Amino acid sequence: MSAKTAVLLLQMGGPDSIDAVQPFLTNLFSDRDIIRIGPAFLQPLIARIIARRRAPKVEGYYEQIGGKSPIRELTDAQARALEEQLGEEYRCFVAMRYWHPSTIEALAAIRKEGINRIIALSLYPHYSRATTGSSFNELKRVLAEAGVQFQVSTIDRFYDHPRYIDALAEKIREGIEQFHPLADVEILFSAHSLPQSFIDGGDPYLAHIEETVRLVMERFGTITHHLAFQSRAGPVKWLEPSTEAMLEHLAAHGSKNLLVVPLSFVSDHIETLYEIDIQYAKEAFKLGYAKFWRSGSLNASPAFIDCLADLVRGCEK
């Protein structure tokens, strides 16, 4: 066996074509770590029905951002940059929860390289059972079914890692530079929402989000900031306020210059490229904002790759 260590980057994934939207949604709605629809044996069938109904609308969103999600290419770029920074003792692989390469495909690639030591690194900074929890549960299932012995270590959160905070702060500074020096800029952190029932059940996601905001704002103490939540779906109660409601609230109270900071996302995907850049930008224009801007996603920024490398090296100690 190879003496190298495999770093397995765990990410949500996204459809790589318009035709992939419906099967991607089916995989998503089949995941009982995110949503439980009826008895377990019926959920795959119900998921297919829901995906078929939702697909046309979602396909329209993807058509506006180039016909696919860029998350595969962006995660591959993160993997390449991380491998280069870590050096010859490491090989980096990608596993997407709801699309390709799947967890089983990634493990097969690791096995083919003759590597038996894996560090599974979640690319969700803030732990939730709906995201990191689901990815690690899938990893455990695949490992159990494969019957192959790997030595596995896990990194399941980094919401307060100093280098992650550095990377976010760098992007926020770049965003602020897009405004006039005399503009009264406010920051709106927009995190992916989660059903309130998850938090009530002990999920630490909200506490992690709030701590990230606190640590980042230690660098920008004089700037007014807000936190809101996007991408809710379904009739249950979700975390509040929604980003849409916050945009309306701030406009009604005289805000004119708004920098939106995507939180809980480390790569560009539909929530940044469509939901913020197109949907919320149009709403901001209607509400009368003078300037509405989104800070750049981390993607493969050197500061973020430095954070990931530090996490991996720390796991080896």
**Structure confidence by residue, pLDDT tens digits, 46-67:** 999 999 999 999 999 999 999 9
Instruction: Calculate the average pLDDT of the chain.
Output: 96
Q: Give the DSSP letter of residue 20.
A: G
Spatial separation of the C-alpha atoms in residues 208 and 271, rounded to whole Å: 20
Residue 235 has pLDDT above 80, yes or no: no
pTM (2 d.p.): 0.96
The pLDDT of residue 317? 63
The pLDDT of residue 51? 96
Spatial separation of the C-alpha atoms in residues 29 and 296, rounded to whole Å: 29
Amino acid identity for residue 236 in this structure: V
* 234 band by pLDDT with thresholds 50, 70 and 90: confident
Amino acid identity for residue 106 in this structure: A
pLDDT in tens, 107-163: 999 999 999 999 999 999 999 999 999 999 999 999 998 877 899 999 999 999 999
pLDDT in tens, 167-208: 999 999 999 999 999 999 999 999 999 999 999 999 999 999
Which runs of E-coded beta strand occur in the chain?
A: 2-11, 90-96, 115-122, 151-155, 185-192, 225-230, 257-263, 291-294
Report the percentage of the chain scoring pLDDT > 90. Answer: 92
Spatial separation of the C-alpha atoms in residues 143 and 152, rounded to whole Å: 10
